[in-house]
Amino acid sequence: MRQGFHLDRPARPWVLLRVLLNLVWLGGLVCGSGAYAQFEKTPWPAAAPSLSETFKDHTGQSISSESLKGKKLVINFWATWCAPCKEELPTLQIFSDLQDPTHTRVLTINVKEPASRALRFMQNNQITLPLVPDPQGEWAKKFDVKVFPTTLLVAPSGQIRWRIVGEVDWSSKSPQMWLDSLR
């Protein structure tokens, strides 16, 4: 009789256990080695000009880059259809709540959706961050945002320093270190 795997014969329990252990071991290698990442943080091009825009929040209030000068700024692009965005926003709210508002601002830009949908999601999830609607995707295009969520970290000088593509746990230590490094 031939040795090997046969569909018409039940697998031996030790073979299944060995396969399972190998999968667990392989998973540990992949996850433990840092090969699994939820986000990618890359420097913003140094030659890019400083932030000079005026944003309008969902109430129509203007938020000028001039009013943000001297503050560190976190700009988060998101959408309600984006599962990682919906996971990330509550941690971004916690992060924002822990910041000194005289030194740091967090803005959220909802892309290609009606403001009412974004507001409903934010209200249902107790998110009180400023909402800048981007129903036509103009802000996303201006900042070359193609993947959601994407976050920009802006230094007090108004110079964008970092682009973070993908979901970040803003309640972890790394985001605070990123913000602290902005000069």
44-99 pLDDT, tens digit per residue, is: 988 888 888 899 999 999 999 889 999 999 999 999 999 999 999 999 999 999 99
Domain extents in the chain:
39-180
CATH of region 39-180: 3.40.30.10
In this predicted model, what pLDDT tens digit does every residue of 19-52 receive, in sequence order?
444 444 444 333 333 334 589 999 998 888 888 8
6 to 10, 11, 12, 14, 55: CA distances (angstroms): 8, 8, 11, 15, 64
CA atoms in the 13 A half-sphere facing the CB of 145: 27
Q: Give me the DSSP letters along 149-164.
A: SEEEEE-TTS-EEEEE
- Statement: residue 152 has pLDDT above 70: yes
Question: What confidence category does residue 164 fall into, taking pLDDT thresholds of 50, 70 and 90?
Answer: very high
- The confidence score (pLDDT) of residue 165 equals 97
Calculate mean pLDDT across residues 160-167. 96
State the average pLDDT over residues 100-128: 97
What is the value of pTM for the model shown?
0.79
Task: Name the E strands within the chain.
Answer: 39-43, 54-56, 62-64, 72-78, 104-111, 131-134, 150-154, 160-166
